[in-house]
């Protein structure tokens, strides 16, 4: 399907005429790319609606098939499931196999749809920082190369951000509406880890590590310089820093299937996650001593029946506009979810039947928060 659509896709998105920066040329492929501080970029960042980044390290087996599948889906559903312009960005972080050669080939085949970056430093978080901060798209997203999360959820991930309804979005495998297939070990580790984040750090999101996230470019510019981790704890720190900055989050229920061939070193990842949690706890303690405030983890019912945020946000509220006005903020469930109360299951696991996001009056500045109801102490 994808093999015969090169000319059609190239006609779909007109070429841009831009000044070409200094290039580095591969003798084997003849492909020219921009080189800066250990990063080679093939293809110019374009002002599309969404850049979808696929971070990869030694993924020669999965990369081509996954990129072809994702591009075919986005192209074939243009105007329906993906009524937005897009680029797929392959972010190769120091692969030692043929991953970069495959990425170059995909860019050569579809130069207006696929960009590629080679970063001479390992770390998924670092690859995302480099690719997102160099983007010109309105929204930046990422998904794991194994496509464990069904790509048919892509529209639900990015459209709330394009409509201005939220600042971040992420897949949530612990949503009761999600369909998840994974081993008992992975399931237990995930639930335990997310429970620790809530009890130890006061997290108000449900699934820190799902490899299916997006944010607006404005949010990325404000948030990414605050994130220190460059590896697997990047996702958790990203969401915790967003919470402290008062950003809005939409959690998307997903169909997710574990990749049996995953190369993730679980014991090493768990150890690094625990160290990252301790660091965030220390940072929080230092910040609270300096401000005299609290983290603002509670929500309270107001007279209208909506849920208004309480508590100070040490970083100050991230605002969608800078006109100095303030709008009242309310919480509602994702319209796709049925109305039902938030509760705790018999095992102590929080049950959230619907994702929460915030709404404000149109045309006003937006004080925004990551929130959940009934945070357990």
Q: For each of the chain's 377 residues, which pLDDT tens digit applies?
A: 454 444 344 444 433 223 233 334 333 333 445 555 689 999 999 999 999 999 999 999 999 999 999 999 998 766 555 589 999 999 999 999 999 999 999 999 999 999 999 999 999 999 999 999 999 999 999 999 999 999 999 999 999 999 999 999 999 999 999 999 999 988 999 999 999 999 999 999 999 999 999 999 999 999 999 999 999 899 999 999 999 999 999 999 999 999 877 666 778 888 889 999 999 999 988 876 665 444 432 222 222 222 222 222 333 345 443 233 322 222 222 333 222 222 323 333 323 223 322 222 222 222 223 333 233 32
- How much is the pLDDT for 34? 58
**82 three-class SS:** strand
Please name which of 39, 41, 113, 109 lies closest in space to residue 76, comparing C-alpha atoms.
113
* Domain annotation covers residue 225: yes
Is 244 in contact with 223 (CB distance < 8 Å)?
no
- How much is the pLDDT for 128? 97
CA atoms within 13 A on the CB side of 13: 19
* Domain annotation covers residue 16: no
Tokens 């080189």 correspond to 35
CA angle at 376 for the pair 236 and 372, rounded to the nearest 5°: 60
Q: Which of 229, 235, 334, 369 is catalytic?
A: 235
b/e per residue 318-354 (b: at least 16 CB within 10 A)? bbbeeeeeebebbbebbeebeeeeeeeeeeeebebbb
Question: Under 8 Å CB-to-CB from 209, ≥6 apart: which residues?
Answer: 190, 193, 232, 235, 236
* Domain annotation covers residue 362: no
* Domain annotation covers residue 244: yes
- How much is the pLDDT for 289? 66
Catalytic residue at 235? yes
Q: Can you tell me the distance from the alpha carbon of 328 to that of 119, in angstroms, rounded to the nearest whole number?
A: 43
| DSSP letter string, 25-68 | E-TTT--EEEEETTEEEES-----SEEEEEEESS-TTTHHHHHH
Instruction: State the alpha helices, DSSP H only, in the chain.
Output: 6-12, 63-76, 99-109, 124-133, 154-162, 184-201, 217-223, 234-244, 266-291
Question: Under 8 Å CB-to-CB from 38, ≥6 apart: which residues?
Answer: 119, 120, 121
Residue 38: C-alpha distances to residues 35, 51, 93, 94, 248 (Å) = 7, 21, 10, 10, 34
> With 0-12 CB in 10 A as exposed, 13-18 as middle and 19+ as buried, what is 41?
buried
Domain of residue 46, CATH code: 3.90.550.10
Q: Can you tell me the distance from the alpha carbon of 176 to that of 336, in angstroms, rounded to the nearest whole number?
A: 13
Q: Provide the number of structural domains found in the chain.
A: 1
* Domain annotation covers residue 134: yes
The phi and psi torsions of 253 (rounded to 5 degrees) equal: -65, 140
CA angle at 239 for the pair 144 and 208, rounded to the nearest 5°: 50
* Domain annotation covers residue 306: no
Please name which of 181, 276, 191, 188 lies closest in space to residue 232, comparing C-alpha atoms.
276
* Domain annotation covers residue 194: yes
Q: Can you tell me the distance from the alpha carbon of 177 to that of 153, in angstroms, rounded to the nearest whole number?
A: 13
- Please give the residue range of the domain that contains residue 262: 22-285
* Domain annotation covers residue 326: no
- CA torsion angle for 73, 75, 76, 82 (degrees, to 10)? 80
């Amino acid at each position: 399907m994808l093999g015969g659509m090169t000319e059609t896709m190239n006609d779909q998105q007109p070429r841009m005429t831009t000044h070409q920066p200094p290039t580095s040329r591969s003798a084997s492929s003849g492909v020219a790319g921009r080189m800066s501080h250990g990063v080679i970029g093939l293809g110019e960042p374009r002002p599309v609606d969404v850049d979808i980044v696929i971070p990869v390290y030694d993924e020669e087996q999965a990369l081509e098939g996954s990129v072809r599948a994702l591009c075919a889906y986005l192209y074939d559903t243009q105007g329906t499931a993906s009524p937005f312009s897009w680029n797929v960005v392959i972010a190769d972080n120091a692969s030692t196999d043929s991953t970069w050669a495959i990425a170059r080939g995909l860019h050569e085949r579809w130069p207006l749809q696929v960009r590629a970056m080679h970063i001479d430093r390992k770390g998924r978080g670092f690859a995302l920082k480099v690719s997102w901060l160099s983007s010109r798209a309105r929204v930046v997203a990422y998904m794991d190369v194994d496509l464990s999360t069904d790509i048919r959820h892509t529209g639900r991930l990015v459209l709330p951000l394009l409509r201005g309804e939220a600042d971040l979005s992420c897949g949530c495998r612990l949503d009761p509406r999600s369909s998840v297939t994974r081993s008992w070990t992975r399931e237990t580790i995930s639930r335990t880890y997310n429970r620790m984040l809530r009890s130890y750090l006061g997290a108000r999101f449900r699934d820190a590590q799902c490899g299916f996230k997006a944010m607006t470019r404005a949010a990325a510019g404000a948030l990414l310089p605050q994130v220190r981790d460059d590896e697997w704890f990047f996702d958790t720190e990203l969401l915790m820093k967003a919470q402290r900055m008062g950003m809005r989050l939409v959690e998307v229920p997903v169909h997710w299937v574990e990749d049996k061939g995953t190369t993730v070193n679980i014991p090493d990842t768990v150890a690094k996650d625990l160290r990252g949690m301790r660091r965030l706890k220390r940072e929080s303690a230092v910040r609270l001593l300096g401000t005299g405030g609290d983290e603002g983890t509670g929500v309270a019912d107001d007279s209208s029946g909506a849920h208004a945020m309480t508590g100070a946000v040490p970083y100050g509220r991230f605002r969608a506009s800078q006109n100095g006005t303030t709008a009242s903020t309310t919480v509602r469930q994702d319209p796709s979810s049925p109305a039902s109360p938030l509760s705790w299951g018999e095992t102590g696991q929080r049950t959230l039947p619907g994702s929460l996001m915030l709404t404000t009056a149109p045309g006003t500045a937006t004080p925004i928060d990551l929130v959940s109801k009934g945070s357990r102490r």
